[in-house]
Amino acid sequence: MVPTFVVNVEVVIYRQDRCLLTLRSLQETHAGGTFAFPGGKVEQHEIMNDVLEHVARREIREEVGLEVGSLTYLEANSFLAGDVPCINVVMQAPYLSGTVQLQQEELAAAEWLTLPEALARSETPLWTRNSLKKAEEMRNAVR
């Protein structure tokens, strides 16, 4: 059965005043060579409570080898991944533990960047910039 749409979950991981951005491999069909947040899609077999949180934590462990704290909803948007519609859910969470260990097949690099550093980089696409700004606003509102 071919899905009619994909659900993707990605997480803005922050550590003090820095966020983790991963550089997508040039071999990736969607947005290769650009900065993104760790994340991935909900698999069809993942029918459970708290599926978005489960997928977020699984993907963070798989892609960068980190553990995060409490996940908070940030925003949702949609785009076409090839010809398949994708619902993209963005969350944020504080870094808890671990050392970045990249999943080499999908990611070329990872960097902890401040908001100004991330916004100044040409690898940061508009949608990632928007999520970074929103995450920063949300964290500042809580402080």
Q: What is the pLDDT of residue 45?
A: 77
Does pTM top 0.85 for this prediction? yes
- In the chain, pLDDT over 90 holds for what percent of residues? 66
Q: Domains of the chain: which residue ranges?
A: 6-137
Looking at domain 6-137, which of 3.30.420.40, 3.40.50.1000, 3.40.50.300, 3.90.79.10 is its CATH number? 3.90.79.10
Question: How sure is the predictor about 2, in pLDDT bands with cuts at 50, 70 and 90?
Answer: low
> What confidence score (pLDDT) does residue 142 get?
75
| Segment 35-67, tens digit of pLDDT | 999 999 988 776 767 899 999 999 999 999 999
Kind plus residue range of the DSSP H or E element containing 117 = helix 115-120
Paired residues of 86 in beta bridges = 6, 79
β-pair type (18-24, 6-15)? antiparallel
